[in-house]
Chain A
């Protein structure tokens, strides 16, 4: 069976599946981050350029909780999104909320500036080299799947990201809160007229989107080294993912994120030099054929 697969794909099976798994993991991060961006964009109409920095803060808060307070991975998974989300709430209340009446591009510029500040502060404090974060004891080791060794932690990341995305979808599509949110996305003034506190909802939505980024950061901490630049390079790719998927649908964001991660992984097998640029090329092709994005509304 494996020999047969090798003869079709032309590459050693462990290499193929290894890269596929790596692609799935990258896809998990793309999905979680683009989901947060889409939720924020839906209600606030701004692209949150700070998203990458907030992803990085999630990883750093996990590191600080462990090294300064002795609180391990499972605590970080709970606390880091809350802490970073709270900073997001402060940012929204003190700064972003002043811009809603202006051109949306000012929101982009503001959040870009905030992102620079956060990244600079962390670089001053921790340097650029990166800090290690150990995989929690419960998730160490690997399963032998027959055709490859699957590190348990990596499987966990993919599974947990899927659960997060599904939970977000359930909240937005199936709960009363989500119904308010969708209604406010369509027409905020009308929802406010019905007595819903829209400004508070906007603040909490921003906080939730940021918390999702921080959660992705905690998941990423044991895989990538924790360093101040980890978010910025990722977020540019996520922007391309958002353009490809369009920000109209939640499941669309998730599907696009995972799909592009897998494509990127496969490119690493067959044409390693192109793996850094393949997502941008796909973005160009999608723009030429379907400008609104695969799942977007024009």
Chain B
């Protein structure tokens, strides 16, 4: 579905301009992003920034599927939330160090993505969206009842622990650098995947699946691997988020969270490298400022959905890239 926003922009894997598959414009944007990550905690509240980065990583993971394979998963909260629960539970119950806890959450989310992806890729388009949503709802009900999730209360007072057993993450500033590093690694990983030969095949599937099949690619295998990668990264984002806030709750596995990540990616720009980050920043900031308005936040989010779909399908970054005639 992102074909119209990025039509004709498929670059060869080894594009002549730029470094690591980044074009010049993208390198400039990456420079701005890294500078922002370095300076922001001295001006903005670190916890807010960490929340933003967790959602930005989540949106990047989601964008890997929708933007580059054309698969709309409407159930990504299942992987985000499960990553959070597993990381939170292992950190609290076994006292293991945070990086292992996050990896454990990511691994479980990835396995879950493997099973669900294997089932869901049997259907395409709208059905794929409905199936992923239904599977995520199943995970939600499982989390309501499973003993380790703490039901309605969630898992509370999750310790942040010490990174590699030595660097305490108790202070918000230290935690921020950890989160920023995880985000940057995840962001670059998604970029690397997209610009690998494997990523080129994914885009070929997005543009014309029967043709990719006729060229000899097992498209289902490619889609499944993309789904697992996306779910795993979503699990990383969820795991880090639960460590940041010390809490893992049902909110993160609820269908509305799946809707939020769709919205973030859509606002930023489907199939753009920096879109999910910008979209996450916009939506998280909006939620922060409008928090006391209660249900109006839902109305505004719905209105943004409608406005973007009707008038603004390239998203913020997509529009900027279109105006400047560059890839971002």
Contact A243 B130 (CB under 8 A): yes
**Cα distance, A102 to B1, chains bound together (Å):** 8
Q: 26 A–B contact pairs at CB < 8 A?
A: A47-B126, A103-B3, A104-B126, A105-B125, A106-B1, A106-B313, A109-B262, A109-B309, A116-B298, A116-B299, A116-B301, A116-B305, A117-B299, A119-B298, A119-B302, A120-B296, A120-B300, A123-B294, A124-B294, A236-B137, A237-B137, A240-B137, A243-B123, A243-B130, A243-B134, A283-B134
Q: Pick the most buried of B266, B296, B306: most chain A CB atoms within 10 A of its CB.
A: B306
Chain A, residue nearest B126 (CB): A47
B124 to chain A, nearest CB (A): 10
Is A284 among interface residues, defined by CB-CB distance under 8 A?
Answer: yes
Q: Kindly list chain A residues whose C-beta atoms are within 8 Å of the C-beta of B144.
A: 276
Given contacts A243-B130, A273-B145, contact A113 B306 (CB under 8 A): yes
Chain A, residue nearest B116 (CB): A284
Given contacts A102-B4, A277-B141, A291-B122, contact A110 B305 (CB under 8 A): yes
Interface string of B117-141 (1 = CB under 8 A from A): 0011011011101110111011001
A291 to chain B, nearest CB (A): 4
**Cα distance, A291 to B309, chains bound together (Å):** 30
Sorting the interface of chain B by its residue count into under 10, 10 to 19, 20 to 34 or 35 or more gives 35 or more
Set A115, A123, A288: member contacting B295, Cβ < 8 A: A123
Is A183 among interface residues, defined by CB-CB distance under 8 A?
Answer: no
Is A71 among interface residues, defined by CB-CB distance under 8 A?
Answer: no
Contact A114 B302 (CB under 8 A): yes
Is A17 among interface residues, defined by CB-CB distance under 8 A?
Answer: no
Q: Pick the most buried of B4, B262, B301, B302: most chain A CB atoms within 10 A of its CB.
A: B302
Q: Kindly list chain A residues whose C-beta atoms are within 8 Å of the C-beta of B145.
A: 273, 276
Where the two chains meet, the residues of B that have a C-beta atom closer than 8 Å to any C-beta of A are 1, 3-4, 72, 74, 119-120, 122-123, 125-127, 129-131, 133-135, 137-138, 141-142, 144-145, 255, 259, 262, 266, 294-306, 309-310, 313
**Cα distance, A26 to B278, chains bound together (Å):** 42
**Cα distance, A273 to B304, chains bound together (Å):** 38
Contact A243 B302 (CB under 8 A): no
**Cα distance, A286 to B72, chains bound together (Å):** 21
Chain A, residue nearest B71 (CB): A105
Chain B, residue nearest A240 (CB): B134
Contact B310 A110 (CB under 8 A): yes
Contact A277 B138 (CB under 8 A): yes
Interface string of A258-298 (1 = CB under 8 A from B): 00000000000000010011001101100110010000000
B126 to chain A, nearest CB (A): 5
**Cα distance, A47 to B1, chains bound together (Å):** 15
B145 to chain A, nearest CB (A): 6
Q: Which of A222-280 contact B (CB under 8 A)?
A: 232, 236-237, 239-240, 242-243, 273, 276-277, 280
Q: Kindly list chain B residues whose C-beta atoms are within 8 Å of the C-beta of A119.
A: 298, 302
**Cα distance, A288 to B121, chains bound together (Å):** 10
Q: Kindly list chain B residues whose C-beta atoms are within 8 Å of the C-beta of A46.
A: 126
Contact A110 B309 (CB under 8 A): yes
**Cα distance, A21 to B185, chains bound together (Å):** 54
**Cα distance, A283 to B302, chains bound together (Å):** 29
Is A108 among interface residues, defined by CB-CB distance under 8 A?
Answer: yes
Given contacts A105-B125, A108-B129, A123-B298, contact A113 B141 (CB under 8 A): no
